[in-house]
Amino acid sequence: MKSILVLIIIFLILGNQLAGQSLKEKITGYVNEFHLSSEIKVFMIAMIPIFELRGAIPIGITVYELPVWKVFPLAIAGNMVPIAFILLFFDVVTRFCFRIPLLQRILQAIFRRTRSKSRLIEKYEEVGLMLFVAIPLPITGAWTGSLAAYLLGLSFWKSLFFIFLGVIIAGIVVTFLTSLRWLGALIAGAALLGVIIRGIMDRQRGRA
């Protein structure tokens, strides 16, 4: 159900002409409450989990009407800022949170989900991490990739470097799809639908 919800979110964000008050407009509406420049808003959206640059780039180009040469580096930078902190301080935060039973249960659930989605990283390590982040799908991205890198014990600098490469590739893909307008939305929607169907089939095989 969560995957279907994210599919709808990404599909709507990539569309350029949406009827009524779209999700894209709601997101930007919240951000617009802060009286900041469009450039800073793009940077802020890219920092948000789930949205990351896959939300920031389409919004920056289609809503704020900023040129690609501005949106692209801002989205990359915004996406990478929290990743450095996760890789540096997550161990300290985790040890603190594990002292509180409720936070411990929440973190353990996040860890289980992250481990279940990080087979590519486990198999190919740093290169797998780059590919995992580079695919702009709901179960992937820099946030999940950084958690997986931490859980698998990959080194800080290698993780940061390969996540950065993955973010750049993801930015190129999202920018290209955004430039295609509705065609890009259809391609993204078809890819996400394929991921959902595959996930359902994998679960059914597991139960068999």
Better-scored residue on pLDDT, 137 or 89: 89
Comparing 201 with 141, the larger pLDDT belongs to: 141
**pLDDT at residue 205, rounded to an integer:** 63
| Contact present, 27 and 45 (Cβ < 8 Å) | yes
Most confident by average pLDDT, 53-57, 96-100, 121-125: 53-57
Asked if 196 contacts 204 with a C-beta cutoff of 8 angstroms, the reply is: no
Name the DSSP letter for residue 21: S
- Tokens 């068999």 correspond to 208
Which pLDDT band holds residue 202 (cuts at 50, 70, 90)? Answer: low
Cβ–Cβ under 8 Å, residues 167 and 80? yes
**Number of domains into which the chain is organized:** 1
Stretch 148-164: mean pLDDT = 88
What does each C-alpha distance from 154 to 30, 48, 157 come to in angstroms? 36, 23, 9
pLDDT band at 176 (very low <50, low <70, confident <90, very high): confident
Instruction: Record the pTM.
Output: 0.71
Residue 59 belongs to domain spanning: 2-207
**150-164 burial: b if 16+ Cβ within 10 Å, else e:** bbbebeeeebbebbb
| pLDDT value for 72 | 96
User: What gap in Å lies between CA 79 and CA 64, rounded to an integer?
Assistant: 18
Q: Could you read off the pLDDT of 58-93 as tens digits, one per residue?
A: 889 888 889 999 999 999 999 999 898 888 888 887
Please check the confidence at residue 208 and state whether its pLDDT lies above 60.
Answer: no
Contact 136, 174 (CB under 8 A): yes
